[in-house]
Amino acid sequence: MFSIQSRLKLLFVLIVTVVLTISGSYAQYSLGKDLEESHQRLRQGVLTRLQISLPSALWDLDKSKVDSIVEAEMLPPEVLAIRVYDASVGLFSGKAREPDGRIGPLGRDEPVGDKVEAALVFSDATTSSAKPVTVGKVTIYFTREQITAALQHELLRKVAEILLLDTILVLALSASLRVIFEPLKSLRDRLFDLATRGSEVEELPERRRDEVGDVIRGFNQIQRRMKSTLEHTREAEDQARRSAEETARALQELRQTQESLLQAERLASLGGLVAGVAHEINTPVGIALTSASVLKAATDEVQAAVHTTGLKKSEVLRYLDTASESASLIMNNAYRAAHLIHSFKQIAVDQTSEARRPFGLKEYVEEIVSSLQPKLKKTPIRLSISCPADVVLDSYPGAFAQVITNLTLNCVEHAFDIDTAGHIQIDARLDGDMVELHVKDDGKGIPPDILDRIFDPFFTTRRGQGGTGLGLNIVYNLVVKQFAGTITVASTPGQGTHFTLRIPRVTPQAETEPRPAALA
């Protein structure tokens, strides 16, 4: 990377070089143009003089005079050779320039150069009536080496001039810029030391009274201010580190508390389920016990009659009716109690276990709803299920039961007023490898200002009335963390609420955590 000093030198050198190159190019062009014009004048003069002086000598066939004229015209070095031809005998005379510059007889080879030919016309001035006669022709060979040499010499002179001026400029700039950049270099070194060593760097001397001295004094002032700032920063960092440690401990305690609250909420939900199922089982068990007691009493009477007076037909028939009715009541209520116990047992085991197993979606949803009947039968709310019978999930049934239970009870507690009839619909369908569940009601709906907050932990509209604000938060965490799915909610006040869950049919091992979405 070039330094500023090097770039300034390069910039000035380029400027001077470009200016001198332009000036030299113009001078070179002017010189070439002048040399070309001089060469043209020379060619025209030599040709004109030969056309004037040669015809009379050629008319008189005076070869010595022709040679003298030719030699005289070959004095300029631009003339390479001259050939004079007679109209009748051909080549009459000629001279050529030797390589060493001397003028000698014409050789046989054709000279290399610009060739100019002209006719030689003789006119007798003594007789006005005589017509001009062409007595021969002259051929002149010119060279442009002098022009090329002059242009090359001028070019070399300009290049040497540019190089000399560039060298002088670089030396002058080096000497002048050193006055500025040497202090800047010291300032740079101190800045690097200040960045790496901090407050241990000494201040620069402030002897200079020019602009550089002002910069040095500013640097020293900044350094003093930075030292003070570094001290305050270290103190603030120490305080921030202590605060971060305290915050981390508080966050850990908060997470542990949150996990405890979530577990307590799940156990409380399971406790409510136990109480409801126990109360529901009391009825069929009581009926079965009463029927068994009646059957026992009738059996005792029959046994007593057998051992004493004997049995009459009417007594046997009456006993059979009683036994048949009691057995029917015992069987029906025992089956009902067994069904409740089976559903409760399966749901309770799943909710207290994190075991993963395959389970039929429709059958399991029906078992969940069956375990919620003790809660639902106290309200005029109707619950219906629409689910394919062949959909099997490979997932966590306990967490799934918690999701359906919380969503259903959330509808019961928040969507409808007390003693208000309503309808809760649970629909499911298979969409590729995803299962889409819809839990919707036709209740009061959710106000738009709190729709985005319903999944937040500890947010509830029934504060002080038994609401903990963890029901939907548990649903969200189970759906997006344990099932790697998504949950969205759409609600219009007065028209009900619609929860949409999308979970993989086979729950993946890796956990994902998309954000919950709320649609108005």
Q: Take residue 42 and report the two structure tokens written for it.
A: 């020379």
Is pLDDT of 289 > 50? Answer: yes
pLDDT average, residue stretch 24-37: 88
Regarding whether 313 and 434 lie in a shared domain, the answer is no
Q: Which of 408, 386, 400 is nearest to 507 (CA)?
A: 400
Last residue of a domain, one of 352, 375, 395: 352
Element containing residue 63 per DSSP (H, E): helix 63-73
Q: Do both 39 and 52 map to the same domain? A: yes
Tokens, residue 108 = 């046989």
For residues 492-502, give the mean pLDDT: 92
pLDDT tier at 516, thresholds 50, 70, 90? very low
Same domain, residue pair 32 and 154: yes
pLDDT of residue 340: 61
Of all residues in the chain, the percent with pLDDT exceeding 90 is 10
Is 248 contained in some domain?
yes
486, 435 Cβ separation under 8 angstroms: no
User: Do both 400 and 484 map to the same domain?
Assistant: yes
pLDDT value, residue 199: 58
Q: 206-248, pLDDT tens digit by residue?
A: 776 667 777 777 777 777 777 778 788 888 888 898 889 888 8
Sequence-separated (6 or more) residues with CB below 8 Å from residue 263: none
User: Is residue 296 domain-shared with residue 428, that is, in the same domain?
Assistant: no
Residue 94: what pLDDT? 84
User: Does the residue 322 lie in any domain?
Assistant: yes
Q: Tell me the pTM.
A: 0.40
Quick one: 336 and 424 in the same domain? no
Do residues 161 and 298 both lie within one domain? no
Q: Do 360 and 496 fall into the same domain? A: yes
Structure token pair of residue 483: 């099932």
175 lies in some domain: no
Tell me, what's the pLDDT at 112? 78
Report the C-alpha gap between 125 and 136 in whole angstroms: 18
The answer, yes or no, to whether residue 37 has pLDDT greater than 70, is yes
In tens, the pLDDT along 290-308 reads 878 877 887 887 787 777 7
Instruction: Rank 89-103, 211-225, 348-362, 497-511 by mean pLDDT and report only the highest.
Output: 497-511
Bridging pattern class, strands 496-504 and 434-441: antiparallel
pLDDT-based confidence at 503, cuts 50/70/90? Answer: very high
Give the pLDDT confidence of 449-476 residue by residue, as tens digits: 888 888 887 677 765 454 556 778 888 8
Q: In this structure, is residue 223 part of a structural domain?
A: no
In a domain, 210, yes or no: no
Residue 400: burial class (beta carbons within 10 Å; 0-12, 13-18, 19+)? buried
Q: Are residues 285 and 372 in the same domain?
A: no
Domain of 57 in residue numbering reads as: 4-165
Domain stop point among 102, 136, 165:
165
Sheet holding 434-441, edge to edge: 381-386, 422-431, 434-441, 496-504, 486-492, 517-519
Mean local confidence (pLDDT), 374-391 = 86
Strand order in 90-97's β-sheet? Answer: 103-105, 90-97, 79-86, 133-142, 114-122
Average of pLDDT values for 159-166?
A: 89
- The answer on 246 and 104 residing in a single domain is no
Cα separation, 106 vs 104, whole angstroms: 6
Task: Locate 448 and state its tokens.
Answer: 């738009």
pLDDT tens, position by position, 477-491: 889 988 999 999 999
Q: Is residue 95 part of a domain?
A: yes
Residues 14 and 67 in one domain: yes
The enclosing domain of 112 has a CATH number of 3.30.450
Domain count, the chain: 3
| Residue 408 and residue 435 in one domain | yes
CATH of the domain at 437: 3.30.565.10
Whether residue 219 lies inside any domain: the answer is: no
pLDDT band at 75 (very low <50, low <70, confident <90, very high): confident
- pLDDT for 330: 81
Residue that wins the pLDDT comparison between 310 and 443 = 443
What pLDDT, on the 0 to 100 scale, is given for residue 439? Answer: 94
- The stretches of 308-396 forming alpha helices (DSSP H) are 313-351, 361-371, 373-376
Q: Are the beta carbons of 284 and 337 closer than 8 angstroms?
A: yes
Cα separation, 301 vs 84, whole angstroms: 175
Task: Considering only residues 426 and 88, tell me which one the structure prediction assigns the higher pLDDT.
Answer: 426
* Residue 178 in this model has a pLDDT that exceeds 80: no
Which of 92, 55, 96, 56 is CA-nearest to residue 74?
96
Q: In this predicted model, what pLDDT tens digit does every residue of 403-416 receive, in sequence order?
A: 898 899 888 888 88
Which of 317, 352, 387 represents a domain boundary (last residue)? 352
